[in-house]
Amino acid sequence: MSNQAKAATAGDDEVEVVDSSDSEIQGYRDISEAELRSITEALIFVADEPISAKTIAGVIKVDRDLVDGAITALVTKYDEGNGGLQLREIAGGWQIATRAEFHEQVRAYLKSKPSAKLSLASLETLAVIAYKQPVTVPEILEIRGVQSPSAIKTLLDKRLIVAKGRKETVGRPMMYGTSKEFLIQFGLKDLTELPSIEDFQDLAGGEA
C-alpha cells in the first residue's frame, strides 16, 4: 500500500488546532491525529537529514505542540513494534534509524562501502578533534606525533569538521571542531553521545 493510501485510511479523530491568529504560522487547518502522525512519519522518512518538529509544523501548517505529540506517539509506536527501526532525535532533529541491537550487522555492511571509509590518519585526527575540541593543528600534532594537514583537508572536504575560530595564542592558529554532519553520520543527538573508539575504528580503511 502506498503512503498516500495509508494516509487516506487514517482515523477520523479530530485534533484541536490552535487559532492561527496566535501563531507565526498562517493557514492552519483541521487534521486528525492519525493523519498528522502519518504525514509526520512520511516527512521524517524522506528528509535528507534529521528534520525538526518546527520544520514539520511549518510544512503541515499545524501548531508545533501537535507535532511534538505526534512524534512522541511515533516513538512509542516504533519502540513497541520491536522492528528493526526506531525514531531517534539526532543533531536537533528527528530521523528514522536502525536499532542498536542490530548494530553489528549494519556495521558489517557499512564497512563494505568504500565511500564510507576514512584512512587511518584521517580517522585518528577525527578522534582527536572529536574528544579534544576545539583543538588546533599543533595540538593534534602533539597528541598524534605526526603531521595531519592532508587528514584535516579530507575531514573538511567530507564536512565532518569545521573551523571554530582562532586560538588567542602565539600565531593565533585555527581551531577545529566536529560539525553537524559529524553528528548525523554517527547518529548522535549531541556531543554527549560521542561514540566509543571502536566506533571510530569502524570507519578505518580506504584512502584519504
pLDDT digits (tens, 9 = 90+) for 116-129: 567 788 888 998 99
Quote the pLDDT of residue 124: 85
Q: How far apart are CA 10 and CA 97, in angstroms?
A: 24
Q: How far apart are CA 44 and CA 84, in angstroms?
A: 16
Q: Clarify whether residues 52 and 110 are in a common domain.
A: no
Which residues span the domain enclosing 133? 103-201
List per-residue pLDDT tens for the chain, 208 residues long: 433 333 333 344 444 443 433 334 444 567 899 999 999 999 999 998 899 999 999 999 999 999 999 999 999 999 998 889 999 999 889 999 888 888 888 877 766 655 556 778 888 899 899 999 999 999 998 888 877 788 898 899 889 999 999 988 888 899 999 998 888 887 788 888 886 666 655 544 434 3
CATH code of the domain in which 53 resides? 1.10.10.10
- Grid coordinates representing 107 are 556495521
pTM, to two decimals: 0.54
21 Cβ contact partners less than 8 Å away, ≥ 6 residues apart: none
Whether residue 46 contacts residue 1, with contact meaning beta carbons closer than 8 Å, is answered with: no
β-bridge partners, 175: 136
- Grid coordinates representing 143 are 597528541
Pick from 81, 85, 88, 79: which is nearest to 99 by CA?
85
15 Cβ contact partners less than 8 Å away, ≥ 6 residues apart: 30, 31, 32, 33, 36, 62, 66
Domain boundary among 78, 98, 118: 98
Q: Clarify whether residues 149 and 162 are in a common domain.
A: yes
Q: Clarify whether residues 84 and 135 are in a common domain.
A: no
Q: Clarify whether residues 8 and 83 are in a common domain.
A: yes
Establish if 160 belongs to a structural domain.
Answer: yes
